[in-house]
Structure 1
Amino acid sequence: MPSRLRKFLSGYSGTSLATGLQVILLPWIAVSVVDLPALQLGWVQASVLLPNLLFLLFGGALADRRDAAAVAALASLGLLACHGGLLLYFSYRIPDLPLLMFYGVSLGVCTAFLQPARDNLVQRSARRDGGRTTESGVQRTVTWMMMAQYGGQALGMLLASRFDHWGLRSLLLIQMAALAMAAGFFYSLRQPGIHHARERKLPLALIREGLAEAWRRPALRELVALMAFNGFVHIGVFLVVLPLLAEQYGRGAGYYATLQLGFVGGTVAATAVMLHRGQGDRPGRGILMCLLYSAALLIAISFGPTPFGLILLCVCWGAVAAASAALGRAVVQLLAPDEYRSRLISIYQLALFGSAALGALAAGAISEYAAPLATLLWAGIASLVSFALLAFSGPLRHLALGERDR
């Protein structure tokens, strides 16, 4: 494995470990420490995602205009500062709703600049010794990236499962150490002067160019629309309903962490299979089938499985989510021209995570006035309807990727 790929994967793993801890800590602090109701939990979860609506496109424009490695390193240090601030506050008093929302917004702003810059480094890491990339090489690097992401998240969630024994302070210190390590690896990937000379443009002009480029590509346009649906329905439901179900089962933070670990375990297994077998040359069809499988899983969970059954279904849900994410991100990497790559990545991520913020609010509202299981049932029905509509459309379903040098 080339040195630059090892550095990239190490940095990606560090940020993912911190994310895995955050995924458990933030909602569990809100539910068990601050004792927030479902609707306010939805607001806390949405506070991490809402900044994507404002800053993701600016993050993509910045990563296209500057060295993406330097932007990723600075964003990692920003996340470190956010966790350090919560650690300092918690040393004096228990957080409340406004503090948790401020903390979530701060995390969201830094993440909005980290994501497009970090994913932009895929092409740099996949490059052969001759400076070329191939479609199969990019797909394989994306799969390795997903393995680093899910493996890091799994480790972070495993550490978070010790919340009741280690306490919040120790886990926040681990987050900060992982982000410091990630910043160092990303910074080592800097390549000054790699960008082509171009006239200086305002960020809004760069964003408009990226949006126009995405609109000109039918398969990418349909993929972005599908990711917006997935974010609103699937991620939004996952963020809000899963901790509520864990609380209803009354098994503590360890059980919620186990559910998350089951989900991530499924993602790791699916990613390992894709590393062995490849992603295939019809990624659009695979993405649509993942939508169908997600619908079936949501409906199955809505029937109220046993605690162990819910863990198994979370494993399957994770496998489907990993396959969909890997295929979608590989399509964006392959369809995006070099000069627009970070902006198209940011548009893709904005559709996914921006809509997830709205989905979290909707899931919190529905779960406040109805049972969380009813929220899952409606999400599954909506997914079935979306699959039926997209199954007969053209661009994404017929997208074929052949072997070609870039």
Structure 2
Amino acid sequence: MAFPALAARLRTFLFGYSGTSLATGLQVILLPWIAVSLVDLPALQLGWVQASVLLPNLVFLLFGGALADRFDSARVAALSCVGLALCHALLAVYLLQRVPSLILLLAYGVSLGICTAFLQPARDNLVQRCARRPRDGTARLSEARVQHTVTWMMLAQYGGQAVGMLLASRFDYWGAELLLLIQVCTLAVAALFFFSMRHSGPAPEKPSQRLPSALLEGFAEVRRNRAILELVLVVGFNGLVHIGVFLVVLPLMAESYARGASYYASLQIAFVVGTVIATVTMLRRGQGNQPGRGVLMCLLYSAVLLVAISFGPTPFGLMVLCACWGAVAAASAGLGRAIVQLLAPEQVRSRIISIYQLSLFGSAAIGALAAGVISEYAAPLTTLLWAGILSFMALLLVSASGALRHLRIGGDTSD
């Protein structure tokens, strides 16, 4: 399906989603590089800065999911974008006057993490609203259409991140202040797109439970569905081992090559190029009817790539391996998010999405801290080797359980 032929509602969603992703792509480069090059933080403190963006997920993601289920997801997403824009604007103003301290960077990271925790479940909950056509009414959506919409969403995410990282590669020439202002403008536009969707879906039902009970209902549903439970555990492992390593070890390796921010941005861009290629491939070929098995294969490929990087590739070789890593990460994320969209009941979908995201980013915060500690006292390449070994062990455990391995999605292929 060509982009101009997409429904107007889906196009609006994709524009908003790509705007938030562009801002994220800038943030992925800016925050660690400000910490490393401007503030000159060591590995352990860099780990704390990276974790500061992720740790708020442990507290606020579940509340974000409950809020999106109880109120209009489009409004929640728009307000979250406004909050992120304010965070970037305040740091830009501060940088015009002086170099930030570790405490300020931690406060900035925590503020970003809080806003993002409310944005993610609300934004992802709009997928079903976009997949449903006006003539569908209350009819059940086909599995193929939901998977197709999720793949478009992933393409908007990775494409936006790629553009953001390309802009961030100009850090040495444009400076952090201009790039932060670009984030502010992009998030403001994304907020307008999301806000325009506020009347495009069914009105949220009046809450029938108090907030604590509503939060527990999401966990109860995850426990009842064995495939979702296994997926949440696999995603948690990916956050702990893979994202944690990626956030801390990669900038340290880039700095060791002494090529500046542009090379670190090139590694991130290579990663995102891989994600775009994998997502376009899934868009053309579909995700298949055994997405759980695909998630497990991605875990295997990640283990192989981590071990390969631990041997210390050349600068160009590291870029190639990062591109491969990006392709694997995109395939795993797309398959996992489609599983959640298809298996989660509508009334608790945002809460299950928030539990999924909590498992990923909450464990990633712990992983970033662990990677910072290990890299402080051992070589970063050693950290990568152990991450690869642990990935092989996790694959064996999850494969033995079998719920994801045997998961089959109905053969519905209707458009």
Q: Could you tell me the TM-score, scaled by structure 1's length?
A: 0.98
Which of the numbers 76, 97, 101 marks the counterpart of 1:96?
Answer: 101
Structure 1 counterpart SS, 2:125: helix
What is the DSSP-based 3-state SS (H/G/I as helix, E as strand, rest coil) of the residue aligned with 2:135? coil
Partner amino acid, structure 1, of 2:46: L
The match for 1:206 is 214
Residues matched between the structures, number: 406
1: distance between equivalents of 2:185 and 2:112? Answer: 16
Partner amino acid for 1:37?
Answer: P
Per the alignment, residue 382 of structure 1 pairs with: 390
| Residue aligned with 1:130, SS | helix
- Alignment-derived partner of residue 341 in structure 2: 333
Give yes or no for the alignment of 1:106 onto 2:111. Answer: yes
Q: What per-residue deviation string (whole Å, max 9, x for no partner) do you get for residues 191-222 of structure 1?
A: 28824544443221110111111111000001
AA aligned opposite 2:410: G
Give the share of equivalent positions with the same residue, in percent: 69
Contact 1:134 1:403 in 2 (8 A): no
* Equivalent in the alignment of 1:243: 251
Give CA deviations for 1:35-60 in whole Å, capped at 9, x if unaligned: 00000000000000000000000000
Instruction: Quote the residue 1:34 is aligned against.
Output: 39
In the alignment, the residues of structure 2 paired with residue 219 and residue 226 of structure 1 have an alpha-carbon distance, to the nearest angstrom, of 11
Please name the residue that 1:319 is paired with: 327
User: Contact (CA 8 Å) 1:160, 1:171: kept in 2 or not?
Assistant: yes
Q: Determine if contact 1:282/1:399 at 8 Å carries over to the other structure.
A: yes
Partner SS for 1:117: helix
Offset at residue 88 of structure 1 (A)? 1.3
1-side partners of 2:287 and 2:212: how far apart?
Answer: 35
Q: Is residue 376 of structure 2 the alignment partner of residue 364 of structure 1? A: no
Residue type of the alignment partner of 1:275: L
Q: Deviations over 1:291-320 (max 9, x none)?
A: 000000000000000000000000000000
Aligned partners of 2:208 and 2:393: how far apart in 1? 45
Query: Of the candidates 251, 262, 287, which is equivalent to residue 254 of structure 1?
Result: 262
Deviation per CA, 1:385-406: give whole Å up to 9, x if none: 111111222211100001459x
Alignment of 1:298-309 (within 5 A): 298-309=306-317
**Cα distance in 2 between the residues matched to 1:129 and 1:193:** 10
Check if 1:126 corresponds to 2:131: yes
Letter in 2 for 1:22: Q
Map 1:108-257 onto structure 2 (within 5 A). 108-131=113-136, 132=139, 133-191=141-199, 194-195=202-203, 197-257=205-265
Amino acid at match of 1:164: D
CA distance in 2, matches of 1:159, 1:197: 42
User: SS at 2:401's partner residue?
Assistant: coil
* Equivalent-residue separation in structure 1 for 2:338 and 2:201 (angstroms): 26
Deviates more, 1:33-42 or 1:131-140: 131-140
* Alignment-derived partner of residue 53 in structure 1: 58
1:81 aligns with 86
2:200 and 2:30 map into 1 onto residues whose CA distance is: 37
**Structure 2 unaligned blocks of 5 or more:** 1-5
Give the TM-score of the pair, scaled to structure 2: 0.96
The aligned counterpart of 1:277 is 285
Match of 2:72 among 53, 67, 74: 67
Shift of the alpha carbon at 1:130?
A: 1.9
Residue 202 and residue 299 in structure 1: after superposition, are their counterparts in 2 closer, same or farther (change >3 A)? same
Paired AA for residue 69 in structure 1: A
Cα distance, 1:381–1:175 mapped onto 2, change above 3 Å: same
Structure 1 runs (4+) greater than 4 angstroms displaced: none
CA contact (8 A) 2:62 2:215 kept: yes
Distance change in 2, residues 1:278/1:43 (3 Å)? same
The gaps in structure 1 that reach 5 residues or longer are none
Amino acid at match of 1:295: A
Which secondary structure does the structure 2 equivalent of 1:392 belong to? helix
